[in-house]
Chains A and B, each alone.
Chain A
Amino acid sequence: MDLENVLIQATLEVFAAMIFIEITPEKPLEAGAAMEYNLTSLIGLAGDFKGILAIQCPAEVAMGITGAMLGMEVTELGVDAQDAIGEIANMVAGGLKEALTSSGKKTELAIPTTVIGTSIRTSGLSGSSRVMIPFSSPLGQFGVELRYIIT
């Protein structure tokens, strides 16, 4: 399965249907490369496909996306941004789960968790593979990261 394409299509679908901000996928980051961000929403996947999907945003991007989803100006990185970006992670993970199910991989989704900070790095899942796709938008760049193990 082309996981990069699945993640790109799932993310594009979410933004086209519910956020109405034009985004463009960029070249996936090389192993070890990271983006700078202030908010990350994580959602765990379990079953035949184990993994963690993360949406990573700088503060301005997270606030802009949240404002677009809620239809109001958002000026702080607070509860609304945590909830909104968490819901994006949930929907992108839902698209991934649908593709995995179609290829015979039974997968369960957890409930998203969002972390705010200035020096966040995600790790875990020893021996996992990683896909990191940056997206550009009028608000700035954000990333969709997947760490996974297929059993």
Chain B
Amino acid sequence: MAKNVLLVDDSSTMRKIISRSLRQAGLDFGEIYEAGDGQEALAMLEKESIDIVLSDINMPNMNGIEFLREKGNRPAIKDIPVFMISTETGEDIIGEAKSLGAIGALKKPFTPDKVNEVLGPFM
């Protein structure tokens, strides 16, 4: 069954680009939901039926690392997989994200082909 996706990024432009790239990559997905930071994402996860989260790291209010930490403390949503999409690709910060449950990372900028290659196995 097609997965419902939550895009978490403070840039509305980036959310549109990721959404378009998912379509161009030919990936099978259901509804796309959007959140502008970690706090909005937590609220969305508790309200909607979401199967996978694609999240930025550098965001105001609640960044991607804080989001992962807080999500892990909420039993109802803690098992929803999160994939990081960020300009941050350092081993330290990606390592921290993975230690908090992130299942992978994709570097910005990216092409639709790269989206297909990296995200395809999770969709």
Q: Is the CB of A84 within 8 A of B60?
A: no
> Which of chain B's residues 6-25 have a Cβ closer than 8 Å to chain A?
10-14, 16-17, 20
Choice from B10, B60, B89 contacting A98 with Cβ under 8 Å: B89
CB distance from B119 to the nearest CB of A (A): 15
Q: Is the CB of B87 within 8 A of A97?
A: yes
* A19 closest partner in B (C-beta): B109
Q: Is the CB of B89 within 8 A of A94?
A: yes
A13-B109, A94-B108 known; A83 vs B88 contact (CB < 8 Å): no
* A98 closest partner in B (C-beta): B89
Q: What count of chain A residues pass the 8 Å CB interface test?
A: 23
Chain A residues whose CB sits within 8 angstroms of the CB of B11 once the complex forms? 83-84, 86-87, 90
Chain A residues whose CB sits within 8 angstroms of the CB of B114 once the complex forms? 17
Is B122's CB within 8 Å of the partner chain A?
Answer: no
Chain A residues whose CB sits within 8 angstroms of the CB of B109 once the complex forms? 13-14, 17-18, 91
Chain B residues whose CB sits within 8 angstroms of the CB of A150 once the complex forms? none
Q: Is the CB of B59 within 8 A of A111?
A: yes
State A105–B10 Cα separation when bound (angstroms): 27
State A124–B65 Cα separation when bound (angstroms): 31
Is A141's CB within 8 Å of the partner chain B?
Answer: no
Q: Is the CB of A87 within 8 A of B89?
A: no
Choice from A14, A18, A84, A94 contacting B88 with Cβ under 8 Å: A94
Partner-B contacts on A (CB < 8 A): 13-14, 17-18, 66, 69-71, 80, 83-84, 86-87, 90-91, 93-95, 97-98, 101, 109, 111
